Amino acid sequence: MGDMFCFQCQQTAHNTGCEGKAGVCGKKADTANYQDDLTAALIGLARAVKSEKTTKAADELMMKGLFTTVTNVNFYNETINKLTAQINQEKDSIAKGTKNYDVKKIWDDDEDIRSLKSLILFGLRGIAAYAYHAFVLGFTDSEVTNFFYEGMYAIGEDYGMDKLLSLVLKTGEANYKCMELLDKANTESYGTPVPTEVPLTIEKGPFIVVSGHDLHDLKLLLEQTKDKGINIYTHSEMLPAHGYPKLKEYPHLKGNFGTAWQSQQSEFHNIPAPILFTTNCLMPIRQSYADRVFTTSVVSYPELVHIGEDKDFSPVIEKALECGGYDENHPMTGINGGTTVTTGFAHGTVLSVAGKVIDLVKKEKIKHFFLIGGCDGAAPGRSYYTEFAKKTPMDTIILTIACGKYRLNDLKLGEIEGLPRIMDMGQCNDAYSAIKVALALADAFECGVNDLPLSLVLSWYEQKAVAILLTLLYLGIKNIYLGPTLPAFVSPNVLKVLVENYNITPISTPEEDLAKILG
């Protein structure tokens, strides 16, 4: 199938692109090329829908197809090609003879066009993940769905810079609506999150580790493991599940296993329990735990047991009982040696004490807010975020989202009049919570969001972070610090536009950046 080209994630080779036989993430060239074929078919589907009209099957395939191509979701050619065939079949049933698009044309295009089309495509992939999580809970939004088609159609057209730039911002708007939808889906299904301290020690006896983002899968597993003597532990982006009242009702939802996704190969080494991957963040599997990994939803990997749409988790449960867990309580720690972490400070909680927060700001007891979060990854430069948090003054509050929080969420940084200085707002999609809080504060102080004592210090890794960045730009939020490196797919000219209009700044050192922010 020839060599690959992929530059959609932060760890891409030499910060220019993965080429040749395999990517840094472990994705082989044939898999990358099959994902391009899948993307080509989705553009074909968008063309068919534009000439006729959409179907429910097309909507689901569009969402699933985009989600499947997010970094670290699917390494399995068979399931990718099967999905491409389904998309082509649906496309032909809507408008026979509609042509797919050769995705390699994007990679070979003028660098600025390539850059803008990449921002739209990668943003759409991120939105599709959120739309899918809402979809499994029975929530959809026609505006979001329609934009998948509009955006994918545009990628196959010869549009100029101005038109593509406006679509980049429209991608951010669509993601804002989608995060709002998912927030509604999660809170209506599981209640409004409440602050919760989560232990990192694994209790003795059989257990299952659940990774990924899909609360629906976690709920089904909790239900199926009731009274079976098996404890359930969250991993990585599943940690915020502990804050939801309807999930907290299960006494066997015990704590959190390990740290962020990129440490899984060492943390899962010889683990005496199965791991269920509900959505992305799967890394190539090592032999020392290969027989204990199960996938479900859009996650797929060769030779692993996949739990299908019936969501019968019996094989996972049987494996947990067979492995037996640890003989004694097994203490684990966060990246900085802490033994517990806290979550559950979503907008419902923070805004319920908004009066107190506003009062503390007026009295100058809180002088600044930092949103430090995003995706984590393996780059050594990511220790920046830990150091930055440690160096923030005692009269500042740190809000965290996504698995970037693992760099700092076990630090004990004290309180301000009963409010913890670190508040975890949840998963990456809970950037919506941070935006809600920022808008409410701006309202209370009768100023714009950019006039607030609020700084966003973001780490990015994959396409959901791209979607969130585009949302912040759509909302006109400026002065964002972004790292550990700038995206390889942002061309110098496109970066110039972002810097001039939004003052996006690459991170430097914690000391320099803090001095700049706090003047």
Q: What is the pLDDT of residues 127-147, one digit of tens each?
A: 999 999 999 999 999 999 999
| Mean predicted lDDT score pLDDT of the chain | 96
Cis peptide, bond prior to residue 272, ω within 30 of zero: no
Sign (positive/negative) of CA torsion 124, 22, 385, 495?
A: negative
Burial class of residue 394, CB neighbours in 10 A (0-12, 13-18, 19+): exposed
Mean pLDDT of 431-453: 96
How far apart (Å, rounded) are the C-alpha atoms in residues 354 and 437?
A: 9
Is pLDDT of 1 > 70?
A: no
pLDDT band at 519, cuts 50/70/90? confident
pLDDT, tens digit, 9 for 90 and up, residues 260-287: 989 999 999 999 999 999 987 899 999 9
Q: How many CA atoms lie within 13 A of 365 on its CB side?
A: 12
Q: What are phi and psi of 125, to 5 degrees?
A: -65, -40
pLDDT, tens digit, 9 for 90 and up, residues 447-489: 999 999 999 999 998 999 999 999 999 999 999 999 999 999 9
| 3-class SS shares of the chain: helix, strand, coil, % to 5 | 50, 15, 35
Neighbours of 295 (CB within 10 A): 24
Mean pLDDT of 308-323: 98
Is pLDDT of 420 > 80?
A: yes
Which residues, at least 6 apart from 264, have a Cβ–Cβ distance to it below 8 Å?
A: 211, 235, 236, 258, 281, 283
Neighbours of 369 (CB within 10 A): 21
Q: Residue 400: its pLDDT value, please?
A: 96
Q: Residue 380: its pLDDT value, please?
A: 80
How far apart (Å, rounded) are the C-alpha atoms in residues 135 and 146?
A: 15
How far apart (Å, rounded) are the C-alpha atoms in residues 469 and 475?
A: 10
Which residues, at least 6 apart from 387, have a Cβ–Cβ distance to it below 8 Å?
A: 510
Q: Which helix (H) or strand (E) holds 47?
A: helix 29-51
Q: What are phi and psi of 217, to 5 degrees?
A: -65, -40
**Smallest Cα–Cα separation from 153: which of 105, 100, 115, 107?**
100
How far apart (Å, rounded) are the C-alpha atoms in residues 151 and 162?
A: 15
Q: Residue 174: its pLDDT value, please?
A: 98
Contact between residue 349 and residue 438 where contact means Cβ atoms under 8 Å apart = no
pLDDT, tens digit, 9 for 90 and up, residues 158-177: 999 999 999 999 999 999 99
How far apart (Å, rounded) are the C-alpha atoms in residues 6 and 70?
A: 11
Contact between residue 382 and residue 376 where contact means Cβ atoms under 8 Å apart = yes
How far apart (Å, rounded) are the C-alpha atoms in residues 515 and 429?
A: 29
Token pair listed for 346: 């979503």
Contact between residue 125 and residue 66 where contact means Cβ atoms under 8 Å apart = yes
State the SS3 of 228-247.
CCCEEEECHHHHHHHHCHHH
How far apart (Å, rounded) are the C-alpha atoms in residues 133 and 430?
A: 13
Sheet strands (E) in 140-243: 196-199, 207-211, 231-234
Mean pLDDT of 276-304: 93
Contact between residue 349 and residue 437 where contact means Cβ atoms under 8 Å apart = no
Token pair listed for 266: 């060492």
Which residues, at least 6 apart from 315, have a Cβ–Cβ distance to it below 8 Å?
A: 294, 305, 307
Which residues, at least 6 apart from 403, have a Cβ–Cβ distance to it below 8 Å?
A: 236, 237, 260, 261, 281, 375, 376, 428
pLDDT, tens digit, 9 for 90 and up, residues 15-55: 999 999 999 999 999 999 999 999 999 999 999 999 999 99
pLDDT band at 123, cuts 50/70/90? very high
pLDDT, tens digit, 9 for 90 and up, residues 487-501: 999 999 999 999 999
User: Cα dist. 269→55, 262, 291, 316, 332 in Å?
Assistant: 45, 13, 12, 18, 14
**Smallest Cα–Cα separation from 410: which of 205, 132, 197?**
197
How far apart (Å, rounded) are the C-alpha atoms in residues 23 and 36?
A: 14
Is pLDDT of 299 > 90?
A: yes
pLDDT cut 70: percent of the chain above it: 100
